[in-house]
Amino acid sequence: MSTKSLISIGVPCYNEELNVIPSYQELIKVTNKIKKYNFEFIFVDNGSLDKTRKKIEEIVNKDSRVTGVFLSRNFGPEGSRKAFLDQAKGDAIINLQADLQDPPELIPKFIKEWERGNEIVIGIYTKSEDNFLLSWFRKFYYFIYKKIVNIEVSVNANAFGLINRRVLTVIRSLPEKYRFYRGLLFWVGFKRAYIYYQRKKRIRGKSSYNIFDYIKHAERGIFGFSYLILDLMAYSGFLLVILSFFFIVGYLAFFFLFGNPLKGSVAILVSIFFFGGVQLFSVSIIGKYIEVIVEETKNRPVYVVDKIIKKNE
């Protein structure tokens, strides 16, 4: 029986029929050069509508190290990632996207940092070949995110990276349903290292994510790790009350000395629209936090498994 440590590599997939086989081949090419560890590969199909499931079944049937996890529907990236984490048996766990925009060639570097005693190794891309709008959105989001969250976060930190068994145990123990994995990697603490790289352009297939999906996912990071927006609403409300008080006092003084300074209804309409907009925005923000609370109190599972397969099973 082998005494080598086991490393688990997870590959979440959604409509990635063109990338399942190439990503598996790249992983085999990289890991075959690493003789000192055993590897398991966990491909999670997140309710794909194409032939992704069939492609995963193909590699399961040819390699006993591969596990196929099929979810009952699409539970989003956090659902498929948690499904992988729950199935991982390794002493170290590596997360990789099937589209190969994050290069598997970095896996040996992740492992080397882990061997040096780092419990979390995070991939940070310095440059991305995505389209201009998406790249700009990511940069803007991380710029804002870093300033408002209550944890120390590196800009352009990715889910692509490695965690050890102890970190996995902590993340598994977290009961929250409204999850943002990248934020959790910083929240848990522990000794960490960073690997910088250039993110590649997708070669095969088309991303199932659009700008609205990115916005929804970005909300998880903000509303799950920051209360600064609520604080700003409170401070802004207090400031508006103070300014309104001085305005009323000034207006009354001006009225008794010089008569009514405001003629017509334009100023009144502008004030109504302004304060109405402020109130609507504030209520919307509060509604987002209530959404998080409702999601947690439902206590539904983050994902539902349809089937798990391994070779000869």
Per-residue pLDDT tens, the chain, 313 aa: give them.
Answer: 357 789 999 999 888 888 889 989 999 999 888 888 999 999 999 888 888 899 999 899 988 899 999 999 988 888 888 898 999 998 999 998 888 888 888 899 999 999 999 999 988 887 766 666 666 777 777 777 777 776 777 766 778 889 999 999 998 888 887 787 777 888 888 888 888 888 777 676 566 666 666 677 677 767 766 666 777 777 777 777 777 767 777 767 776 776 666 655 556 666 676 777 777 777 777 777 777 777 778 878 888 888 888 877 5
154 assigned to some structural domain: yes
pLDDT for 40: 92
Give bridge partners of residue 8 from the DSSP assignment.
40, 93
- SS3 percent helix, strand, coil of the chain, rounded to 5, is 50, 20, 30
Contact between 224 and 292 under an 8 Å Cβ cutoff? The reply is: yes
Mutual angle of helices 132-148 and 211-225, in 10-degree steps: 10
31 assigned to some structural domain: yes
Residues 41, 104 share a domain: yes
161 assigned to some structural domain: yes
| DSSP helix/strand/coil, 51 | coil
pLDDT for 255: 67
The residues near 135 (Cβ < 8 Å, ≥ 6 apart) are: 128
Residues 106, 163 share a domain: yes
Indicate if the alpha-carbon torsion angle 292, 296, 297, 298 is positive or negative.
positive
Residue 135 vs residues 101, 129, 142, 201, 308: alpha-carbon distances, Å: 14, 8, 11, 12, 36
Residues 272, 172 share a domain: no
Residue 47 sits in a domain of what CATH number?
A: 3.90.550.10
Residues 41, 14 share a domain: yes
Map tokens 């009323």 to a residue: 248
Residues 252, 158 share a domain: no
List the domain range (segments joined by +) for residue 81.
Answer: 5-208+301-310
217 assigned to some structural domain: no
b/e map 85-111, b = 16+ CB within 10 Å: bebbebbbbbbbbbbbbbbbebbeebb
240 assigned to some structural domain: yes
Residue type, position 238, single letter: F
What total of structural domains would you count in the chain? 2
Contact between 40 and 67 under an 8 Å Cβ cutoff? The reply is: yes
Residues 202, 259 share a domain: no
216 assigned to some structural domain: no
220 assigned to some structural domain: no
Residues 22, 153 share a domain: yes
Cβ count within 10 A of residue 224: 17
pLDDT for 1: 38
Tokens of 262: 């405001």
| Single pTM value for the model | 0.75
pLDDT for 108: 92
Residues 144, 119 share a domain: yes
Q: How far apart are CA 147 and CA 258, in angstroms?
A: 47
Contact between 38 and 2 under an 8 Å Cβ cutoff? The reply is: yes
Residue 265's Cβ-side half-sphere holds a number of Cα atoms within 13 Å equal to 3
Strands (E), 82-137: 92-95, 120-128
Contact between 31 and 23 under an 8 Å Cβ cutoff? The reply is: no
